[in-house]
């Protein structure tokens, strides 16, 4: 019996000596991404971050002269400009004006701006609470006037 026990421990020790790291299977298959280096996010070029965007807000005609209304948005401020055909301002040159689109050179790049795709994004907000407050205050005033009138009538009746 003791020989069998010694033989068992000898085999266990020899197996353990070959594989000293009991977690080597986990490390090899990298189940928890422990050994892989994390990727460092690379920022886009500064010109892309600080690039101003151009939005088409309208095309109109006054005295048979077509005009394009544009918004240049960038760096926290908006610049509103209106240009006619072959006119340039703020890095934008209008080449031709259609009924719903404009061919323009925007900061040196030719672009076709359309009202459908390049219009100024709209925001949907809740109704202002002042309207509700004014209506509520009018109701309160009407109630207080009615109560005051009732109180006055009650005093007169006594």
> How much is the pLDDT for 94?
95
Q: Is the pLDDT of residue 110 over 90?
A: yes
> How much is the pLDDT for 37?
65
Asked whether residue 76 falls in the same domain as residue 108, the answer is yes
Do 102 and 59 touch, CB atoms closer than 8 A? yes
CATH number at residue 53: 2.30.30.830
Residue 59 lies in a domain: yes
Question: pLDDT tens-digit profile of 125-150?
Answer: 666 665 555 556 666 666 667 777 77
What does pTM read for this prediction? 0.49
Residue 123 lies in a domain: no
Residue 157 lies in a domain: no
Q: Is the pLDDT of residue 66 over 90?
A: yes
pLDDT band at 48 (very low <50, low <70, confident <90, very high): low
Which of 76, 95, 114 terminates a domain? The answer is: 114
Residue 156 lies in a domain: no
Q: What's the structural domain count of the chain?
A: 2
pLDDT band at 45 (very low <50, low <70, confident <90, very high): confident
- Average pLDDT of the chain is 78
Residue 63 lies in a domain: yes
Calculate mean pLDDT across residues 95-119: 91
Residue 97 lies in a domain: yes
pLDDT band at 7 (very low <50, low <70, confident <90, very high): confident
* Domain boundaries, position 92: 46-114
pLDDT band at 58 (very low <50, low <70, confident <90, very high): very high
Residue 131 lies in a domain: no
Residue 140 lies in a domain: no
Q: Is the pLDDT of residue 81 over 60?
A: yes
């Amino acid at each position: 019996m003791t020989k069998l026990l010694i033989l068992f421990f000898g085999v266990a020790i020899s197996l353990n000596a070959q594989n000293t790291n009991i977690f080597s299977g986990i490390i090899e298959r990298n189940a928890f991404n422990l050994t892989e280096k994390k990727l460092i996010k690379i920022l886009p070029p500064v010109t892309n971050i600080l690039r101003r965007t151009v939005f088409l807000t309208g095309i109109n005609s006054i005295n048979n002269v077509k005009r394009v209304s544009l918004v240049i948005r960038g760096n926290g401020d908006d610049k509103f400009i209106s240009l006619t055909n072959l006119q340039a301002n703020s890095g934008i040159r209008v080449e031709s004006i259609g009924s719903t689109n404009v061919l323009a050179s925007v900061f040196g790049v030719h672009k076709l701006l359309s009202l459908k795709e390049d219009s100024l994004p709209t925001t949907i907000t809740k109704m202002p609470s002042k309207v509700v407050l004014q209506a509520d205050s009018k109701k309160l005033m009407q109630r207080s006037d009615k109560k005051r009138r009732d109180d006055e009538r009650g005093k007169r009746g006594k």
